[in-house]
Structure 1
Amino acid sequence: MLPANILVVDDGESVGEVISSILSAEGYLCRPCSTATEALEVLHGRADFHLMLSDLMMPHADGLGMLRKVSLSYPDMPIILVTAVDDVSTAVDAIHCGAYDYLRKPFHRQALLASVRRALEHQHLKRQNREYQTMLESLVADRTQQLTRALGDLERSYDVTLQALGAALDLRDAETEGHSQRVTAYSSALARTMRLPEEMVRVIARGAFLHDIGKIAIPDSILRKPGPLTDEETAVMREHCLIGYRMLSRIPFLRGPSEIVYAHQERFDGTGYPRGLKGGQIPLGARIFAIADTLDAMTSDRPYRLALPPAAARQEIERWSGLQFDPDIASIFLRMPEHLWGELREQISLGASGLLLPSPGHANQQFTVGSAAFS
């Protein structure tokens, strides 16, 4: 280890020489200064001093003032005050101003060396602690980055699984093929326009994508029946909300989406099913989905009619605002540009992934409709 550099400041040259002589004999490299001004100039010229020993009382200088300046500018360098002032309050003031230790003249050689060794050990431990802290921070940052990547990979694997579930449903109900992907895109765009947090947007997207997953358990004789359903068959079909909820709520990362699946057939006025929820009792994601679902249903071909234009869907949603739909969300939907829905539908038709959400800027950069508090 290289010898420590020590700055010795004392207006009494003989005292400074004695201190420097004692320390030099122990292998320390000393730089004596006779004034506070000289000491500050030396410090500004080189910042490699490990320790400073300074007199408290010097002509034309405030020892405590210099102590404050040095301790603020060089916080890693301990300072030992060596003074003839025998006053406890002065010693306390010196410690408060940044001094590491306080030696009273005349001092014993061993007392000086012991104080210097303690101060240098203190500095060494502080540097070690800082290096250790920096290493820990770097390690935590690295581990956090690794964890973020792992969580991202896990989330992508979840979405691949969800796409497989959606594809399985499409195979059973070819009439509505692509419906889940479109309502996912529509719900996401509407949620982002409402300035909801991105994590909530993803929950809503998954709930929208899986809203009909419970239909996997509905018999083909009912699901694919070409004509009207009987009352008994309608009751069975309506069970798909609860079935889907039970399927998904057992999976931790799908508990949020499962609430949307459970409530996606509720109506704002309380006349929906399966629980007859009303207004704010309906999860926000389900209220958003209700508008996306109606938009897609009306603008898609059905065996009994051709697709209607988006303008017709907008009129229908406006007409049923406050009854079937949350009026605040409907108002935001009606202020969004009509061409957006056609663009999203085209993306899906070109083979975009079932859970491909619109880019975060897609909704917000093209238009702004204001923000409100939703719950």
Structure 2
Amino acid sequence: MKRVIILGSTGSIGCNAIDVISRLENYSIVGLAAYGNYQRLTEQAKKLRPQAVTIINQKFYKKLNAQMGRALTFSGEGGVREMIDAVKADTLICALASSLGIRGVIQAIEKKMEICLATKEILVNFGHLIMGKVKKLGVRLIPIDSEHSAVYQCLEGRNMNDVLNIILTASGGPFLKKSIRNVRKEEVLRHPVWKMGKKITVDSATMMNKGLEVIEAHHLFDVPANMIQVVIHPEAICHSLVQFKDGTLLAQLSTPDMKLPIQYALTAPHRLPSSTPYLDIARVKSLTFTVPNVRKFPCLRLAYEALEIGKTMPAVVNAANEEAVRLFLEDKIVFSKIAGIIEGVMNKHQPLDGNLDCYLEAISWAKSQAKA
């Protein structure tokens, strides 16, 4: 029996993970954590009967605890670590909407749990710290993002010395063929392919999501920025590619459904039947690939620049973006101002290197600057 803890169980990835695990034999959910949606967390806990639950926003702890019965109940970021300590688990799925769970992820790595990672901010902000521990302790970390899952699958059993490029695909978001001037919030939140949370949907519209994925790919696969390309692929059927030095391209294609990369992260290297509809390749009329317009989508350029600079700069870019997106969603800035806020914070930052606290301080600084 593989015992699983899910951080971010009430979000899109978390709910899909619960559905996937419910269909797998010999898998059991022993811990659940959410940021603030205590109502859904309560419903999940009553149905799944995990050993422990954690609500990160402490103001909801009493409401959650009153309904938990025998389950251990924790709160706050420290509660995530307490739950990981209290529950015997083999696998941690990290699907929180930000890097809030960083200390819990580190603790799980130190306990040599398998990590299934959907929260790209963990590697964007703290990549060299996380991957250093993963390699030192021999822990398996498998990506859940569809693009990184595709690359992971294309690289299985391959020699990295044979790799020429990693090619991440991007749908292009809602404004691939439209102007981004004076766009309304409802247009930004109307993704043409994926159903996601508001923050990541905005990131897709600015292409910052793809920029963050470039940084994540750098850490996951230990390749420099100049070996990571981005192409626009609006059909969202080819999830990423790897090009080898002999010119061969390997690609992973499937119906766009996050349940598939979630399941593979849990079961790799084994492939089991899934609930995802099979792709009928004969019905695919075309697969198109084009170069992204970085003048129209400057956030992609900013992410590459942050990766080249390194140290705390990627964490600062991510934090400034989080704050700018929050301001946009609260109708305090227009969509076109997001990239300018991020670049302004970058220009003020002196990159540093250090321990976890150093990076957390840089993140806090960047958010305060983005608000100004």
TM-score normalised per structure 2:
0.27
**Structure ID, larger Rg:** 1
Q: Please state which structure has a larger fraction of its residues in strand.
A: 2
For CA contacts below 8 A with separation 6 or more, give which structure has more relative contact order: 2
Q: Please state which structure has a larger fraction of its residues in helix.
A: 1
TM-score normalised per structure 1:
0.27
